[in-house]
Amino acid sequence: MEGKCIRSELLGEQYYEIKHQSGLTVLVMEQPQCTGAFAMFGTRYGSVDTCFKLESDDDYTSVPEGIAHYLEHKLFESEELDAFERFAQTGASANAFTSFDKTCYLFQCADRVEENLEILLDFVKHPYFTKETVQKEQGIIGQEIRMYQDNPDWALGFNLYRAVYHKNPVRIDIAGTIESIAQITPELLYACYRTFYNNSNMVLAVAGNLTRAQVLAVCDKVLQKEEPVRFEQIVPEEPDTVAQPYTEAIMPVDLPKFELGFKQPAQPILRDCKERVSMDILLEIIAGKLSPLYHELLEQGLVNPSFYVYYFTGRGFALPTFVGESSDPERVRAAILARIEELRQNGITDEDFALTRKSLYGQELRAFNDMDDLAYQLVDSYFSEETMFSALATYREVTKGDVEAMLDRLQADNSSFSVVKGETK
């Protein structure tokens, strides 16, 4: 089973996309020069997926907030050794994460790659939930939720999402709330698992010193054929305007933190690579590390090197943001808005466009030297229905006009500003 070869002539790199007989898509980037491998097993299921309906169902099922993250935790358990203990015996480093639109399980190892891959596939595809273990996990995840609630950076981001969005479930904390996780039962976990952990909704990505024949042999051994599960998800209709323009929290911070976000039009399920690359370039031109504005703010002591720009985007949402610390967050916000207006009036110079595009293109190239990042890129691009080389090609093709067109998407009267301040003495 050779699969489809996806190649970048520019990089001289390639990987294979194979539809395994089980229904799972397998992506393999063979790197015989490397020691060991990195593997990621992901499902297109995240915290935003709280309402769904199987093709055979009459009604939608609403599930408690935080259940995707809860399910991630529970899958590591089994009737015998949990997955972490199994990986510890092979010397592999394992982890998992739940984001807004995906859940991924991963490991990195220097040897015994096939054995570790078998463990990964085995524990993810064999759920084990009981009433007792589910109740036990509520206390553990409850502590995690409280920890996040006490984290100023976490509060800063989610306060912004709640200020921007009226209904989009991206405003929901990934881990849920103490109250929502108390409603989770084994039956609900199994219902979500059967819907979203079907092989047709998942992808396995492996990068490193392993051939596709070896990967497929492990898949043949562990995976059973599954008929595709078809389901619908409710995406709430989101108003064009922000929910509120300003939000503030008082927490123990030495310096006020801020995050400025600009609401984008309702997003399609799939991201557009050209739009994403154009917005990334624009944000860097406005206030990235190479921009005049960043250096002016730095010299004036209004920001420090922790300041950064970020296009927060995923399945069904997109939010250009400016994030940092400042003794006067409002002055920084005003300076960013003024810079956007200046660019809107005068346009972007050829020099700024060329320099910024070259810088970001270089960052994209360097990412291909990181084996950890390769597996993530494979998964992320597959779920976006792109290839992992799509962004590179887009950086070479994008024009200054494409980037300038994004300026109209950054409107001051449709932005939200989140601030976390320390207590006034």
- The CATH number of the domain where 299 resides is what? 3.30.830.10
Q: Which two tokens stand for residue 342?
A: 């200046």
Q: Identify which of 292, 286, 338 has the alpha carbon closest to the alpha carbon of residue 310.
A: 286
Rounded CA-CA distance 72/176 in Å is 13
**pLDDT for res 251:** 95
Question: Is residue 424 over pLDDT 80?
Answer: no
What is the per-residue pLDDT for 269?
A: 63
Q: Is residue 238 part of a domain?
A: no
* Domain endpoint, select from 205, 233, 261: 233
Report yes or no on 240 lying in a domain. Answer: no
> Is there a single domain that holds both residue 167 and residue 38?
yes
Least confident range of 140-144, 162-166, 180-184, 270-274:
270-274
What mean pLDDT is predicted for residues 323-346? Answer: 98
Q: Are residues 172 and 226 in the same domain?
A: yes
75: pLDDT strictly greater than 90: yes
**Per-residue model confidence (pLDDT) at position 272:** 84
Q: Based on the domain organization, do 288 and 194 belong to the same domain?
A: no
Domain identity same for 146 and 218? yes
- Is 326 part of any domain? yes
229 and 378 fall within a common domain: no
Indicate the number of domains in the chain: 2
The CA distance from 29 to 382, in Å, is 13
Q: Has residue 52 been placed in a domain?
A: yes
Tokens read off for 337 = 């808005």
Tokens of 415: 């932005």
Question: For 103-138, what is each residue's pLDDT tens digit?
Answer: 999 999 999 999 999 999 999 999 999 898 898 888
Q: Are residues 256 and 164 in the same domain?
A: no
- Regarding whether 351 and 206 lie in a shared domain, the answer is no
Instruction: Identify residue 80 by its one-letter amino acid code.
Output: E
Closest residue by Cα to residue 200 from 393, 19, 419, 57: 19
- Of 204, 233, 262, the last residue of a domain is 233
pLDDT of 281: 98
Q: Is 239 contained in some domain?
A: no
Is-catalytic flag, 72? yes
Which residue in 96, 40, 384, 21 sits closest to 208, CA to CA?
A: 40
Among 233, 254, 269, where does a domain finish? 233
How confident is the model at residue 58, as a pLDDT? Answer: 85
Q: Which residue is catalytic, options 72, 77, 275, 325?
A: 72
The amino acid that residue 311 corresponds to is Y
Q: Which domain holds residue 321?
A: 246-421
Q: Are residues 100 and 59 in the same domain?
A: yes
CA distances from 67 to 49, 191, 250 (A): 9, 11, 29
- The partner residues of 194 in beta bridges, in order of sequence, read none
Higher pLDDT among residues 237 and 412, named by residue: 412
- Do 324 and 280 lie in a common domain? yes
Residue 169 lies in a domain: yes
241, part of any domain: no
Same domain, 203 and 285: no
Average pLDDT over every residue of 326-354? 97
pTM of the model: 0.93
270: pLDDT strictly greater than 70? no
Q: What number is the average pLDDT over the span 244-263?
A: 97
> Which pLDDT score, from 0 to 100, does residue 158 have?
96
Q: How many CB atoms lie within 10 A of CB 213?
A: 11
Shared domain for 218 and 342, answered yes or no, is no
406 within a domain of the structure (yes/no)? yes
Q: Same structural domain for residues 265 and 407?
A: yes
